[in-house]
Structure 1
Amino acid sequence: MSVLSRAPLQNEWIPREDSMVAAARWQWRSARWFILTTVAIALFIEMFLYGFLVPMLPYMLEERMHQDPKQTQRLTSVSLALHGLVSVFGGPLMGHLADKAPNRQIPFLVALVGCIIGTFMVACAVDVGVFFGGRVLQGISGSGAWIIGFATAADTVKPERIGTTMGIIMACASAGMITGPMISGLILETFGYWFTWSVPVAILVVDVVARLLMVENPESASTKASSDAHETDPLVDSAACRERSPEGSTMSAANFWRMMLSNSRVMTALLIGIWGSTLMTSFNATLPLHVLDIFGWGPSRVGMMFFLLAMPGVPISPLAGYLRDRIGTRTPAFIALGMQGVFLVLLGFAGNKQFEWASASGRGQALYILCCVVFGTLRPFVSGIGPVELTAVVKAEEARNPGIFGPRGGLSRVFSLVEVAATSGMTLGPIVAGALTERFGYYQMCWTFSVISIIMALLARIFLGSKSTPEKDRPRQESAE
């Protein structure tokens, strides 16, 4: 005898088995693969839109907004820096609100709405004020996408797979960085301005559908914290209750920021995050004008250079993440940052007429292309350090002191720090690189950045985590606390 249940929208009885099949048909919306795919699409869109604008900026500023061509370098730097500057201030607030929200889907959707509005403002702008207003909205929404997306991904996978997962997601972000400038540069020359903007609009539609369908994994940080509390003694349970009170929430936030910002491992990871973003966005501000001046390359060639800067990250990012899961971040970061320092010097030589060996007979062009490929290859070993290191620190602290960062944990706040580091670099990169190039020259800018990269390599060697050292170092850290 089969059990019957009433269908919610019909006045007839149907077998319970049918209703269970119908429910199971929609379980994919909360499946791990779909959640991670949605996060990957969101970050792909963010990097796509950031890079998409780069080859179009000279045309937009000079032809549509009628700005003096002499101001193009400065306005380009300001435009790219503004995107990161607003995220520096908005990131911690968004991370705090995301940790307090009942679920992450609502702020995820709000960020998407801001991205859509900002994109339309930028595309339609014929005034510098409207253009910069759109960039502000894009910066805020992009910050939300990174913070909430990374926090959702970290909650969805096991700690021992966090590096590989972040590597795969960063590969999707790299794909956005590749296709953005490449597609806009090629389509702008071939089909014109408005047809070019139809591409991000189509991708935004896909993003809307994915975020509306996504159902957050029910095994969230709060569920885990709750189950841990039930398995411990009453003293721990009462401590967890105090964490849920308003007073406990204040203490939780204070503990989080104090513990994170006084940890040398965390601060090193954040500094390297700032540097990695600074270096890559410095190309956005200087590469288009430099290769035009030295090699005579137009938008399509510029798009190809950005393709070479980002393309290697697609297959290498998952490998870099797997390597971090196996041996830690210390050694890969040390080697990658040291090699960046060497090739930054070579980048300054490329095409420089003061050095005949680096400029004669097309050698400068070949050397410049080689340097771009190397930077693209090394980038995944630097860009994924922050998420892995900060997640490891927070989860280790929560394992020692359950509920210390509140019932939903501190992952959104963790990734707000990562986002602040990345967007600080997005702010500094165009401004510093543009100012150094304008004041001293491209060659001197490359040497300056080379010295910074070597310093970061030394910091990574001293402070970052390694799989062979955590157990040995843990007692010393705990006694220090």
Structure 2
Amino acid sequence: MRLFTNAWQFLSGTKKDSKSKPPFLLSIRSSTTLIILTVSLAIFTDIFYYALIVPVIPFSLTVQVGIAEDQVQHWTSILIACYSVALLIGSPIAGIYADHTSSRRWPLLIGLIALAASTLLLCFGNSIGLLALGRVLQGFSASIVWSVGCALLVDTMKSAVGVAMGYVGVAMSVGLLIAPVIGGSVYAAAGYYAVYYIAFGVVVVDVLLRLLMIEKKVAIQWIKEDETPGPSEEGTDQVDIETGNSPITPSLQDRTDSIKAKGTHNLAGPGPRDKSQLQDNNNNEEKRIEPADIPNQGSVVPPETISIWCTSKSLLKSTRLFAALYCLLVESGIMMGFDATLALFVQRTFGWNSTAAGILFLAIFVPGFISPLVGWLADKYGARWPCFFGFCGLIPLLVCLRFVTQNSIQHKILLCFLLAPLGIALAFANVPLMAEITYVIEAKVARQPGIFGEKGVYGLGYGLFNVAFSLGGVVGPLWAGYVVESAGWGTLTWSFAIWAASAAVVAYFWLGGKGAKMPESTDTSQQEETAS
């Protein structure tokens, strides 16, 4: 019984009683560095595992399952679709669950179970049904990692959300960069199972970090009460675990209280309706749910249902959120579209083999290492201008790619010269959009504190981010493949340029600019409030 209690305390991080000893190495296990490393490795593992086995799937279908050669492409597409469907369905569910559970750690551990099961099924499965189930579990695990992991980074980093998403961008770049090369090389040198041995090794490291990590809001219970700034949970969540003191950067609630103390009308001059709403918020903070937000007023609705319904409905009203999701769809669609067509294009045009084509992708993914810098710019100036710059930079680069047509040294140099700044532009388009999800939520909370309840909706927000990103992963390759086969490479590049231009327009008019976290000071938030 004692062993079970200790195991439960280790997994949940819950303090059993006042005499319980704090976990071993608490300050290290709850440090910002370890949490960022854990989430980044979890995202790297997902990307690495996905990209590692993609080159191996056709061989597993023929060798392990016995599918005929003429049916391999058909079943490969189905298996990829199984992953995408699970990702689309699982992301919002995982996000909502993460927002209504006591700890982000539990969903991450559930995702580990799904990841381990998918690895075993894909490695040893000898039928189409088992492989499809493995891909579904892999997509479900990815939905948890992205939704819950990004929300955990927001909980940890607070005012440096853009920098945190920059580290996520680096993890993505590294995974996309090395996984296909390792997968193809290891399969050619050591065989089918050796590829999965590498996957098992990465998963084991991921498991250890997730088990070691302790969230800051869980670790705070082990700090003596006289070292915390006050009984409010909003305040205690901000205490530095290593020192027991509040950090210099104030929490979102502190920033909101400061704004209200100075007079919110000084920021954007709200009308009588806004003033009365702020007064109502101060007088009765617990009763924020309006009758229009409660479904089926004639029936008794459980409080949990009301909370999920109202918070989700309020977030989904945001025009600014949907603008960010559209831009994410475009960015991921263009990136995945090149993944699906670039290797085949250089093979047909230059006669390059798969190794040379893989090296060419370095030009796109290596610039992703500037992602933390791009995130810092987003934290400082808002998501609008970095994202707008990224999409505007994509337009001429995509158009110029249509001039690569001949098997000559000049055209090879031109292709590499265009792909490097293309990778930089994709980083500027992607990272600020990841941070914009948090900025949108913070803006709504600043306008109406408590609107999303005690735990917030960061999980749901990043679940929707994952949905948009995966939709781009479906639309982009289909678009690219169809256009290249029917109209050629040149038509693909200028059509993608038009798509990027549409995202640039959306980013300019509807994303948040400088100081976007405090919406009353921006025109964007006023437009959003009118639309809502």
Alpha-carbon shift at residue 329 of structure 1 (Å)? 1.6
Residues 17-416 of structure 1 mapped to structure 2, 5 A cutoff = 25-61=25-61, 65=65, 67=67, 75-159=75-159, 161-218=160-217, 223-224=233-234, 235-237=284-286, 247-314=302-369, 316-350=370-404, 352=405, 359-416=406-463
Confirm or deny: 8 A CA contact 2:387 2:433 kept in the other structure: no
| 2-structure distance, mates of 1:191, 1:381 | 39
Confirm or deny: 8 A CA contact 1:83 1:139 kept in the other structure: yes
* TM-score (norm. length: structure 1): 0.84
| 2-structure distance, mates of 1:224, 1:415 | 21
Judged with a 3 Å threshold, the aligned counterparts in structure 2 of structure 1 residues 347 and 69 are, in CA distance, closer, same or farther, namely farther
| 1-structure distance, mates of 2:395, 2:199 | 35
String of CA shifts for 1:121-142, please: whole Å, max 9, x gaps: 2233454443332221111100
Partner residue, 1:463: 510
Confirm or deny: 8 A CA contact 2:170 2:371 kept in the other structure: yes
Alpha-carbon shift at residue 233 of structure 1 (Å)? 5.9
Judged with a 3 Å threshold, the aligned counterparts in structure 2 of structure 1 residues 452 and 477 are, in CA distance, closer, same or farther, namely closer
Partner SS state of residue 41, structure 1: helix
Partner residue, 2:250: none
Judged with a 3 Å threshold, the aligned counterparts in structure 2 of structure 1 residues 197 and 307 are, in CA distance, closer, same or farther, namely farther
Partner SS state of residue 112, structure 2: helix
String of CA shifts for 1:69-117, please: whole Å, max 9, x gaps: 5665555554444422321122111111111112121111111111122
Judged with a 3 Å threshold, the aligned counterparts in structure 2 of structure 1 residues 376 and 77 are, in CA distance, closer, same or farther, namely farther
Partner residue, 1:13: none
Partner residue, 2:3: none
| 2-structure distance, mates of 1:217, 1:28 | 11
Confirm or deny: 8 A CA contact 1:185 1:303 kept in the other structure: no
Confirm or deny: 8 A CA contact 1:185 1:302 kept in the other structure: no
| 1-structure distance, mates of 2:527, 2:465 | 26
Residue-pair matches, total? 452
String of CA shifts for 1:288-322, please: whole Å, max 9, x gaps: 433333333333223323333222202x1011101
Alpha-carbon shift at residue 38 of structure 1 (Å)? 0.8
Amino acid in the other structure paired with 2:38: T
Confirm or deny: 8 A CA contact 2:365 2:423 kept in the other structure: yes
Alpha-carbon shift at residue 325 of structure 1 (Å)? 1.1
Amino acid in the other structure paired with 2:391: L
CA RMSD of aligned residues (A): 3.3
Which 5+ residue runs of structure 1 have no aligned equivalent? 1-7, 9-18, 353-358
Confirm or deny: 8 A CA contact 2:29 2:214 kept in the other structure: yes
Alpha-carbon shift at residue 361 of structure 1 (Å)? 2.1
Partner SS state of residue 206, structure 2: helix
- Range moving further from structure 2, 443-452 or 88-97: 443-452
| 2-structure distance, mates of 1:405, 1:201 | 39
Partner residue, 1:3: none
Amino acid in the other structure paired with 1:236: E
Judged with a 3 Å threshold, the aligned counterparts in structure 2 of structure 1 residues 468 and 158 are, in CA distance, closer, same or farther, namely closer
Judged with a 3 Å threshold, the aligned counterparts in structure 2 of structure 1 residues 256 and 375 are, in CA distance, closer, same or farther, namely farther
| 1-structure distance, mates of 2:146, 2:166 | 14
| 2-structure distance, mates of 1:51, 1:455 | 29
| 1-structure distance, mates of 2:61, 2:340 | 14
- Range moving further from structure 2, 176-185 or 119-128: 119-128
| 1-structure distance, mates of 2:320, 2:367 | 28
| 1-structure distance, mates of 2:72, 2:423 | 26
| 1-structure distance, mates of 2:522, 2:51 | 43
Amino acid in the other structure paired with 1:90: G
Partner SS state of residue 465, structure 1: coil
Alpha-carbon shift at residue 476 of structure 1 (Å)? 6.3
| 2-structure distance, mates of 1:324, 1:133 | 39
Confirm or deny: 8 A CA contact 1:114 1:141 kept in the other structure: yes
Amino acid in the other structure paired with 1:459: V
Judged with a 3 Å threshold, the aligned counterparts in structure 2 of structure 1 residues 367 and 189 are, in CA distance, closer, same or farther, namely farther
Confirm or deny: 8 A CA contact 2:26 2:219 kept in the other structure: no
Amino acid in the other structure paired with 1:343: L
Alpha-carbon shift at residue 65 of structure 1 (Å)? 4.9
Amino acid in the other structure paired with 1:311: V
* TM-score (norm. length: structure 2): 0.76
More helix by share: 1
String of CA shifts for 1:235-276, please: whole Å, max 9, x gaps: 225659x99x96444343333333333322111100011111
Alpha-carbon shift at residue 39 of structure 1 (Å)? 0.7
Alpha-carbon shift at residue 383 of structure 1 (Å)? 1.6
| 1-structure distance, mates of 2:73, 2:51 | 16
Partner SS state of residue 370, structure 1: helix
Partner residue, 1:5: none
| 1-structure distance, mates of 2:497, 2:163 | 29
Partner residue, 2:229: none
Alpha-carbon shift at residue 41 of structure 1 (Å)? 0.8
Judged with a 3 Å threshold, the aligned counterparts in structure 2 of structure 1 residues 141 and 476 are, in CA distance, closer, same or farther, namely closer
Give identity over the alignment, percent.
30
| 1-structure distance, mates of 2:513, 2:486 | 41
Confirm or deny: 8 A CA contact 2:30 2:219 kept in the other structure: no
Confirm or deny: 8 A CA contact 1:81 1:430 kept in the other structure: no
Alpha-carbon shift at residue 43 of structure 1 (Å)? 0.5
- Range moving further from structure 2, 439-448 or 91-100: 439-448
Alpha-carbon shift at residue 63 of structure 1 (Å)? 5.3
Match of 1:432 among 479, 485, 494: 479
1:454 matched to 2:454 = no
Confirm or deny: 8 A CA contact 1:225 1:403 kept in the other structure: no
| 2-structure distance, mates of 1:297, 1:449 | 24
Judged with a 3 Å threshold, the aligned counterparts in structure 2 of structure 1 residues 349 and 140 are, in CA distance, closer, same or farther, namely farther
Alpha-carbon shift at residue 36 of structure 1 (Å)? 1.6
- Range moving further from structure 2, 389-398 or 304-313: 304-313
Confirm or deny: 8 A CA contact 2:324 2:511 kept in the other structure: yes
Judged with a 3 Å threshold, the aligned counterparts in structure 2 of structure 1 residues 368 and 74 are, in CA distance, closer, same or farther, namely farther
Confirm or deny: 8 A CA contact 1:74 1:434 kept in the other structure: no
